[in-house]
Amino acid sequence: MRFTEIGQQLRAYRLESGMRAEEIAARLGVSRAALYRYEKGEVIKLDTVNRLAELLKISPLSLLGIGVEYYNRPIGFFERLRQVEETADQILQVSSPLSFLTSSDELDSLEAELFIEAAGETGAERTAARATAEQVLGILAERKRMFRMRRPSIIAMLSAGAIVRFLKQGVGQGMAKSDALRERARVVARIEMENIANLMEVEPMGLQFGLLSTGEPSGQFQLLRSRDRAMLAINPFRSDTIPHLSTGVAMITGADEAVTAHQRVAEAMWREAVKGRAASAHLRELIAAQ
């Protein structure tokens, strides 16, 4: 068994459950320090794995990294995605309006304001919502920090239809916002699209963007490849969704059939995508039209 990976998945599922580490440790009959050691990859008995799986309401096979992992909250999924990204050498993604890992610091700052403002409007659950928002922001920041340090290659395909909606509605689409934040959300959306147009034009080493100008993907997914494995992540959550209110089911798997099927789809999309200076010019037209 790969105890480090079991520990990583344990942490992701613990965040997914919403239970505090102290609560899980107490119900498991171990100290909080022992639980953290399991999360860091200490040897764990199968009996303990089974009891943890029962507490977290998941299959023991999922905790062991066998089969498919499911997450219905952004916090658990983003944490697990962070772990997989830490060892990925290549990331191929079909995403909506932007590629989060290459996004700007302005986006990070705005998302922090949006999340905290949304958490402040949740009444009696304000403290829990704010804690969740801060945890998600920390995970997102760590994902971006690791990307900037490791620089895996990225091939990203972005939907023109999703970009138009993003420009019209701004960051945090569908979120209730103050007038000031609403205007800033549109400004930052425009900044993000201009940054991508620049990247499309100069095509820096390790970053490739394609614009899907006809049709629209039915969902977002990523293929993350490292030296010894390939993983598929299917993602219903945007990075600018409200962490405590978002609903959906995300999935991560290393199953060969799933990886191969999505690879074929991605390759077909890449062949049809507009790239380079042509994509940059098209994207600038979309920006100017809004």
Distance CA 91, CA 264 (A): 15
Domain ranges of the chain: 1-66, 69-289
Distance CA 218, CA 209 (A): 19
Give me the residue label for tokens 């520990």: 7
Distance CA 265, CA 209 (A): 16
C-alpha closest to that of 259 among 227, 216, 225, 219: 225
Residue 119: what residue type? A
C-alpha 213, offset from chain centre: 23
> What is the Cα gyration radius of the chain?
20
**Runs of H (alpha helix) within 95-159:** 105-119, 126-150
Tens-level pLDDT at each residue, the chain (290 residues) = 688 888 999 999 999 998 889 999 999 999 999 999 999 999 988 899 999 999 998 888 888 877 789 999 999 999 999 999 999 999 999 988 989 999 999 999 999 988 888 887 766 578 888 888 899 999 999 999 999 999 999 999 999 999 999 999 999 887 777 888 889 999 999 999 999 999 999 999 999 999 998 777 778 999 999 998 999 999 998 888 877 667 789 999 999 999 999 999 999 999 999 999 999 999 999 999 98
Q: Place domain 1-66 in its CATH homologous superfamily.
A: lambda repressor-like DNA-binding domains (1.10.260.40)
Burial 238-255 (b: 16+ CB within 10 A, else e): bbbbbbbebeeebbbbbe
What CATH class has 69-289? alpha beta
Please state the pTM of the whole predicted model: 0.89
DSSP 8-state secondary structure symbol assigned to residue 171 = S
